[in-house]
Amino acid sequence: MHCASTRTIVDRFDRLRHATLFICAKTSALVVAVVVFASSCFHTPLIAKTNVAGVINGDATWSSENSPYIVTQNVEVANRATLTIEPGVEVRFARFSLIVRGRIVARGNGELPIRFTSNEETPKPGDWLFLQLMPESAPAKFGEGGTFVGGCVLEHCIIEYGAGLNLV
């Protein structure tokens, strides 16, 4: 039996919602197995979470490694700032909004969509407020052949349990 790395265990746990962790002692043949199970419907984050709140004044990236992101107060992307959200990121809201005055680049893909959702254990419509693109937010720009060049874009995103997408 070989020992899995912590990162491998975390990756498996994230993907499967269950994992088997083997702790190996180099000086002993004893192997202790700890088995952790979690239901696939268990909504509360089990491994990692990043709380976010306030104003983003410079460019920022929300990575899949630090997902889920829990919005604990309104988050505002300031004018001239860009919030990039990587594929596979989950953004959970607790009765607050994401307000964009600058740029948001949320480009998920078919295998790894970006999810904007409730942080409630039993989510329901209206749990959080809005994903709001303000009039001063940068409009999406596309080059030749429809290639994204800049501005605001939401691609392969799931927006659920909020009051709505607000394009002011």
Convert the pLDDT of each residue in 26-55 to its tens digit.
322 222 222 232 333 344 444 458 999 999
Specify the pLDDT at position 22.
31
CA 105/CA 86 separation, integer angstroms? 8
**122-140: per-residue pLDDT in tens?**
999 999 999 999 999 989 9
List beta partners, residue 85.
Answer: 62, 106
Written as six digits, the tokens of 110 are 């078919």
pTM as predicted: 0.71
154 or 2, which is more confident? 154
pLDDT of residue 48: 58
Question: Residue 87 contacts by C-beta under 8 Å, 6 or more apart in sequence?
Answer: 64, 107, 108, 109, 111, 112, 113, 114, 156
Give CA–CA dist 64/112, Å, rounded: 10
Contact 86, 104 (CB under 8 A): no
Which is nearest to 97 in space by CA: 72, 122, 115? 72
| Amino acid code (one letter) for 58 | G
Q: Is the pLDDT assigned to residue 67 strictly greater than 70?
A: yes
- Over the stretch 93-112, which tens digit does the pLDDT of each residue have? 999 999 999 999 999 999 99
